[in-house]
Amino acid sequence: MIKAGIIGATGYAGNEIVRLLMSHGNASVEWMVSKSFEGQDFSTIYRNFFEVLNMECLGNDLDPLLDRVDVVFTATPQGYLSSILNKEMLDKAKFIDLSADYRIKDIETYEKWYRIEHKSPDLIKEAVYGLSEVNREKIRGTKLLANPGCFTTCSILTAYPLMKEHLIEPDTLIINALSGVSGAGRGAKTANLFCEVNENAKAYGVTNHRHTPEIEEQLGYAYGKEIMVNFTPHLIPMNRGILVTETANLTEGVSEDMIRAAYEKYFGEEFFIRLLREDENPETRFVEGSNFVDIGFRIDKRTNRIVMMGALDNLIKGAAGQAVQNMNIMFGFEENEGLTAIPMVP
């Protein structure tokens, strides 16, 4: 049994980590830290845990806490972990970070897009990008895991096999993504109020969303060269879910059979990636509450372009679920342990 600590436990992603670990056969929650709710019982903040979990949120005096755990999940804002983490802390426990602090290898790119100074650049080279199905072997041996976010996980996985096999022209890739409101976090923001979101849909971060370089970097690794994409996120009035629609030019001579074979080659044996049947399109309601990613595609023969589609739950596979999946890989557990919940419908 491994013991886990959670920093930022009272955010939406942190709350989901707590919930998932409580159904895990080989892990337990040892402590949780919350700057905003220090001293409060967790079940008074999330009443779904009433008479299920009796645990007080602690302050962020981490030195004594690290001696009590094997792994620490940090569901914290950008810049937090990079400002406190050092090699001595990594000698005590493994870290799974849900922020972007260690996802992007180029420091200048990180600082440009996130507009903050990176405080521990020496640790970036030690971090492994935690896209579970792509970097599984590297994940096994790391002490510092950079857990991908929801937009990036869905965007990268949906196009990855075709990039890897050079079946699409990389610089023609356009990604449109829809997100539920929980993706913006639990903090009080005017733009996320009910009256601002309900009966509305909007694009945001147009041409400058900070997940763009992360998507470009990872798909560039897949293709074998630096690439540029158009990424446009949209906010829609639902609690949770990500749906991406990606279009690109097909490489000359590529057939539908070649496309399907590529998806089968890379994802056919993956437990959490479901390749949909012909003429089926992903829908967020069929992945809600689960760690699954549904992927489908259509070829537009008229334009010689492909439409790739993916859907996931932004708080599970797009955050907490993938974090627990990566923990399972890092500690040698079955990869789906604690993560076998069937999607909730309706």
Measuring CA to CA, which residue among 216, 211, 242 is closest to residue 229? 216
Q: Which pair of structure tokens corresponds to residue 201?
A: 């849909």
Helix (H) or strand (E) holding 214: helix 212-223
Q: Which pair of structure tokens corresponds to residue 50?
A: 């009433």
Q: Amino acid identity, residue 100?
A: A
How far apart are alpha carbons 305 and 83 in whole angstroms? 44
Cβ neighbours of residue 111 under 8 Å, at least 6 residues apart? 117, 118
Instruction: Supply φ then ψ for residue 321, to 5 degrees.
Output: -65, -45
How far apart are alpha carbons 284 and 293 in whole angstroms? 9
Q: Maximum CA pair distance of the chain? A: 63
DSSP 275: E
Q: Known catalytic residue: 150?
A: yes
How far apart are alpha carbons 257 and 152 in whole angstroms? 26
Q: Amino acid identity, residue 273?
A: I
Catalytic, out of 57, 150, 154, 195: 150
Measuring CA to CA, which residue among 181, 315, 287 is closest to residue 235? 181
DSSP 162: H
User: Could you tell me the end-to-end alpha-carbon distance of the chain, in angstroms, rounded to an integer?
Assistant: 35
Where in the sequence numbering do the catalytic residues fall?
Answer: 150
